[in-house]
Amino acid sequence: MKRALITGITGQDGSYLTELLLAKGYEVHGVIRRSSSFNTGRIDHLYCDPHVRGSRLFLHFGDLADSVQMIQLVYELQPDEIYHLGAQSHVRVSFDIPEYTGDVTGLSAVRILEALRKAGRDRKTRFYQASSSEMFGRVQEVPQTESTPFWPRSPYGCAKVYAFWLTVNYREAYGVHASNGILFNHESPRRGETFVTRKITRAATRIKLGLENSLYLGNLDAKRDWGFAGDYVEAMWRMLQQDEPDDYVIATNETHSVREFCEEAFSLLDLDWQDYVKHDTRYERPSEVDLLIGNPAKARRVLGWEPRVHFKDLVKLMIDEDLKLAMRELAMAQASDSLTPLPPHAAPVAPDAPPAKARRPSRRQPARGGTRR
Ligand code: NAP
Ligand code: GDD
């Protein structure tokens, strides 16, 4: 049985990759951070008590800033494959915590690659680095390919460029089977709620049900090549099954603006996005990546990989799931309202009622904690 170690197992990609590897018969080990609140929601449906015979998913505490634990895990587990997905992955936040982002998103790659060497696994364990289209930044070519030069525009992008070249260097210097997946933006109903697509689908569906009444966004002109996370983890796995390690662009070769995403998402709910979307400069970045569109021809040719979900289907998939979530939230609000009487203006509404003035404090009001996203 093959054994894989995943950093970032609790994230969007970690959860889809775990599903894929378990379905392929792997034993999967994941690194999770100690947190004062539960952070395993995306993988809870996959986890069963390790004392139960046949369990194939195991979780270990660790932090990407702590090389001792990474060495220990590699030494003890002797994994066949490592998927290094863990990162401070939010571009806007990386401007607020650039040093931390450099440590966790950039240096963590060298911690794991060195752990492979120290544990004598450099020629035995295959390594996947979660590289990013954010490295292309101010793009030097359209569409972007594996040979397009990098010009990162954020501390996050700079950290990913470091990790990319570190991965190439360990391949060349020590013969590690180390590959970079240069993944363009990929989304899903499991996407973190502060990334723009999920922020839009969460707000639009909650607005539809009268749970909130506006959505504050930054730059609507930015264009991204958005794919589905479930498709993209398949590409990661295929990279590590090749005889030779290499670097691959994973993308749909289609680009859309944030404005188009809003139009599509709200129109699926028979709403006009312009009635609800407002601008807030706090969601803009000091330097922006204006346009991303990737050419995945090499992945198609060598890996036999194709994206299955495209823009409109992706938006619909996310809206459908978030509408179900918003309905559950409405039902819970109504249940708690029946226990605690609310003032008249806060009365619950039927799912198809037109959006009302703020009944409850909106979760997306910009004043909320002043958090930049
Ligand atoms: P995500 O949802 O933000 O997940 C990040 C994961 O990293 C979470 O499991 C998080 O743990 C973990 N993590 C963060 N800091 C850590 C630390 N100090 N120690 C240990 N674990 C830590 O990201 P994603 O969307 O799944 O993306 C996966 C990877 O692909 C990331 O490296 C990202 O930068 C990269 N990438 C993503 C995209 C995309 O569009 N999604 C595109 C290109 C590249 P918690 O759950 O505890 O926070
Ligand atoms: N998050 C966010 N919030 N983005 C906004 C907002 C907002 O309110 N308003 C406009 N945007 C714009 C951003 O300025 C950016 O141009 C675009 O929406 C996409 O932002 P994000 O969804 O935060 O993603 P990202 O492209 O910055 O980064 C994601 O993709 C990278 C791959 O290109 C992340 O997943 C990175 O980890 C990943 O590497």
Expressed in angstroms and rounded, the spacing between residue 333 Cα and the centre of ligand 2 is 30
Q: Rounded to the nearest 10 degrees, how much is the dihedral formed by the CA atoms of 116, 120, 125, 130?
A: 10
Q: Whose CA is nearest to atom 44 of ligand 1?
A: 132
pLDDT in tens, the chain (373 residues): 999 999 999 999 999 999 999 999 999 999 999 999 999 999 999 988 778 778 899 999 999 999 999 999 999 999 999 999 999 999 999 999 999 999 999 999 999 999 999 999 999 999 999 999 999 999 999 999 999 999 999 999 999 999 999 999 999 999 999 999 999 999 999 999 999 999 999 999 999 999 999 999 999 999 999 999 999 999 999 999 999 999 999 999 999 999 999 999 999 999 999 999 999 999 999 999 999 999 999 999 999 999 999 999 999 999 999 999 999 999 999 998 877 665 555 444 443 433 443 334 333 333 322 343 4
Expressed in angstroms and rounded, the spacing between residue 88 Cα and the centre of ligand 1 is 6
Indicate which residue of 15, 89, 108, 132 is catalytic: 132
Please tell me whether the overall predicted TM-score, pTM, comes out greater than 0.75 for this model.
Answer: yes
- Do 178 and 245 touch, CB atoms closer than 8 A? yes
Crossing angle of helices 196-208/258-267, nearest 10°?
A: 30
Q: Is-catalytic flag, 170?
A: no
Expressed in angstroms and rounded, the spacing between residue 257 Cα and the centre of ligand 2 is 11
